[in-house]
Amino acid sequence: MMTSDVIIIGAGIIGNACAYYLAKKGYKVTVLEKSDIIGNGGSSRNGGGVRQSGRDPRELPLAMYGIENLWPNLSEELGYDVEYHKKGNLRLGKTEAHLKTLKKLADSASACGLDVRMIDGDEVRQINPYLSKEVIGASWCPTDGHANPLKATLAYYMAARRLGATFITGEDVKCIKKIRGKARQVITQTDTYEGDYIVLAAGMASRAIAGTVGIDIPMVQKLIEALVTEAEPKMFEQMLGTAEADFYGHQTDHGSFVIGGSTGFELYKKDNGTPMNYSDTVPCICRGIIRYIPMLKDAKIVRAWAGWSDNMKDGVPVIDTVSEVPGLVLACGFTGHGFGIAPGVGTVVSQLIAGEEPVCDISGLKYDRFYAKDIKTA
Instruction: Report the distance separating Cα 203 and Cα 309, nearest Å.
Output: 7
Nearer to other proteins, 3 or 101 (CB): 3
User: Nearest distance from residue 228's CB to other proteins, in Å?
Assistant: 8
Query: Of 289, 281, 244, 243, which Cα lies nearest the Cα of 263?
Result: 281
User: Nearest distance from residue 187's CB to other proteins, in Å?
Assistant: 14
Applying CB under 8 A, the residues found at the interface with other proteins are: 36-40, 44, 150-151, 154, 157-158, 161, 166-171, 189-190, 229-230, 254, 270-274, 276-280, 282-283, 286-287, 289-290, 296-305
Instruction: Report the distance separating Cα 33 and Cα 168, nearest Å.
Output: 6
Nearer to other proteins, 33 or 320 (CB): 33
Nearer to other proteins, 229 or 347 (CB): 229
User: Nearest distance from residue 328's CB to other proteins, in Å?
Assistant: 24
Nearer to other proteins, 101 or 132 (CB): 132
Instruction: Report the distance separating Cα 351 and Cα 228, nearest Å.
Output: 37
Q: Which amino acid is at 165?
A: A
Report the SS3 class of residue 226.
strand
Element (H, E) at 46: none
User: Nearest distance from residue 208's CB to other proteins, in Å?
Assistant: 20
User: Nearest distance from residue 30's CB to other proteins, in Å?
Assistant: 9
Report the SS3 class of residue 173.
strand
Nearer to other proteins, 300 or 373 (CB): 300
Nearer to other proteins, 274 or 377 (CB): 274
User: Nearest distance from residue 66's CB to other proteins, in Å?
Assistant: 22
14 and 128 Cβ atoms separated by less than 8 Å = no
Instruction: Report the distance separating Cα 238 and Cα 232, nearest Å.
Output: 15
Element (H, E) at 241: strand 239-242
User: Nearest distance from residue 171's CB to other proteins, in Å?
Assistant: 7
Please give the C-alpha separations between residue 345 and each of 61, 197, 342, in angstroms, as whole numbers.
Answer: 11, 16, 5
Nearer to other proteins, 137 or 149 (CB): 149
Radius of gyration of the chain (CA): 20
Instruction: Report the distance separating Cα 58 and Cα 55, nearest Å.
Output: 8
